[in-house]
Amino acid sequence: MSRASSSLFQLWQIPSDKLLCKSFKFPRDLKQIASTRRYPIICFCKEMQTATYEVVKGSYIPDPKVKGESKAEGNASAKVESIGAFQQLPMVMPSIDILYSALRKAKKLSPTKGITNIAKRERNKGAKQLDAFMKELAVPLRSYIENFPKKKHLHPYERSLIELTLGDGNYEEVLGKVDYLRKKVVSVGKERASLCAKSSSKREAEERLTEGLKRLEEIFNCERGVVDDLLNIAKTLRAMPVVDLEKPTLCLVGAPNVGKSSLVRVLSTGKPEICNYPFTTRGILMGHIAFDYQHFQVTDTPGLLKRRDEDRNNLEKLTLAVLTNLPTAVLYVHDLSGVCGTSPSDQFTTYKEIRERFSNHLWLDVVSKCDLLHESPALITEDSDADNPDMARYLKLGPNGAIKVSVRSGTGLDELRKKVHELLICQLSKISGPKAAEQESLQLPS
């Protein structure tokens, strides 16, 4: 066997991962062959493949069907059609735990075996500990930045929740500060590890190690509050209710304290707080309804007051976000007794505005606390308007076709359950209609 053939045989026996390493040195005879004439080389790589990714329920998973698409095409296909990104958020460690864990792991490292020179051994130990400390601080921060979804990739409903719950821009600002802290830790850590590796004596290496650890700790301590801010953001978002877009949802809407939460408790498994003051509902509350083994969703929303959109608070904007971004059926609750704190005439004005704005939603009107109407009929006509017949009729009877109910006496609740069931069945047909048509079109021969 020739020397060249022997070298090729040696190359064949080398593992594939070694072939891909830059530090591998080819046999001298093989270099001589390659210098005279170039041949294509086949490398056998272990499971090397490329894959594109798509966003599914707010998390990133490989898409085996699509390969080699351009970046622009990948961004175009990243449109999210489902909800659930908040439940996929990574667990964020408290900043103090990250720091102490990094220090403990770094100080456990010992110099590489086989180094006999004392100065070299101390340089090696110091550089390894500084590099490890830097990585133990930076790697968790990098994983948070990578695994917290970009707001533009979220469903519009979840984007609204972020803006209204955390404040506009706060989510991106905190993630940006976490990334800045990561970059600063990496930069200083690499610089200090390099200095330690160039020490001329054991004592100098020890001093540079101590200074480097202290400097990295100071930097992290100074900025670590942003990690705790991110921890609080994750807790807040993870507690947000998840809405199944394929399941019909009943959304209760109305002025504050008109009895929406009481009806949610009657109709569903949801147990919202019930108090006699405005804005009892301080977020989106979810429950479930079961009719004949069919399961539906019901959500209680903060009350709406008579005012312009620009004057509304974030609680009211949450209600509008649900109606705007989710395919819900509306159960609008009216209180004509006047005890809720919002006059019937103001309720009528708000109702007309919301009904016109969301006319594409399935709708059911309910007049709550009907037992109080018999006890205090004077309240009904207190703010009547003779020049507006629609207003006058509303103050006496409520909207056309409204169901009169009383949670306290049980009046109208059976009728309400029946109507809600019918409404949700219609909503189910409305949701599944476009999807069924799409599936049918996909099955048609081209």
Q: What is the C-alpha separation between 380 and 373, in angstroms, rounded?
A: 7
- Predicted confidence (pLDDT) at residue 23 exceeds the cutoff of 80: no
pLDDT of amino acid 437: 47
Average pLDDT on 62-70 reads 43
Rama region for 341: left / alpha / beta (φ>0; ψ in -120 to 50; rest): left
Q: What is the C-alpha separation between 125 and 112, in angstroms, rounded?
A: 7
- Phi and psi, residue 235, nearest 5°: -65, -45
pLDDT of amino acid 396: 86
pLDDT of amino acid 39: 40
Residue 225 Cα distances to 27, 95, 169, 177, 229, angstroms: 54, 7, 18, 10, 6
Q: What is the C-alpha separation between 153 and 74, in angstroms, rounded?
A: 12
Average pLDDT on 268-275 reads 52
- Greater confidence (57 vs 316) lies with 316
Q: pTM to 2 decimals?
A: 0.71
Q: Choose from 172-181, 269-278, 339-348, 435-444 the range with maximum mean pLDDT.
A: 172-181
- Comparing 4-18, 168-182, 332-346, 379-393, the range with the smallest average pLDDT is 4-18
Please give the biggest Cα pair distance in the chain: 113
- Predicted confidence (pLDDT) at residue 178 exceeds the cutoff of 50: yes
- Greater confidence (85 vs 271) lies with 85
pLDDT of amino acid 130: 97
pLDDT of amino acid 200: 93
pLDDT of amino acid 79: 45
Average pLDDT on 396-403 reads 90
- Predicted confidence (pLDDT) at residue 314 exceeds the cutoff of 80: yes
What is the pLDDT confidence band of residue 380, given thresholds at 50, 70 and 90? very low
What is the CATH architecture assignment of 249-429?
Answer: 3-Layer(aba) Sandwich (3.40)
Average pLDDT on 30-49 reads 40
For all residues of the chain together, what is the average pLDDT? 79
- Predicted confidence (pLDDT) at residue 364 exceeds the cutoff of 80: yes
- Predicted confidence (pLDDT) at residue 2 exceeds the cutoff of 80: no
The domain limits of the chain are 1-49, 79-238, 249-429
- Predicted confidence (pLDDT) at residue 294 exceeds the cutoff of 50: yes
What is the pLDDT confidence band of residue 122, given thresholds at 50, 70 and 90? very high
- 3-state secondary structure at position 431: helix
Q: What is the C-alpha separation between 128 and 292, in angstroms, rounded?
A: 65
Average pLDDT on 149-165 reads 91
- Specify the fold of 79-238: Four Helix Bundle (Hemerythrin (Met), subunit A) (1.20.120)
Site of tokens 């209760």: 252
- Predicted confidence (pLDDT) at residue 145 exceeds the cutoff of 60: yes
Strand ranges (E), 343-440: 363-367, 403-404
Q: Choose from 69-73, 145-149, 292-296 the range with maximum mean pLDDT.
A: 145-149
What is the pLDDT confidence band of residue 46, given thresholds at 50, 70 and 90? very low
pLDDT of amino acid 42: 37
140-146: long-range pairs with CB below 8 Å, 24+: 140/93, 140/98, 141/178, 141/179, 141/181, 141/182, 141/185, 141/227, 142/182, 143/90, 144/90, 144/92, 144/175, 144/178, 144/227, 144/230, 145/175, 145/178, 145/179, 145/182
- 3-state secondary structure at position 287: strand
**Residue 55 CB contacts under 8 Å (≥ 6 apart), including other chains:** 78, 79, 80, 149, 153
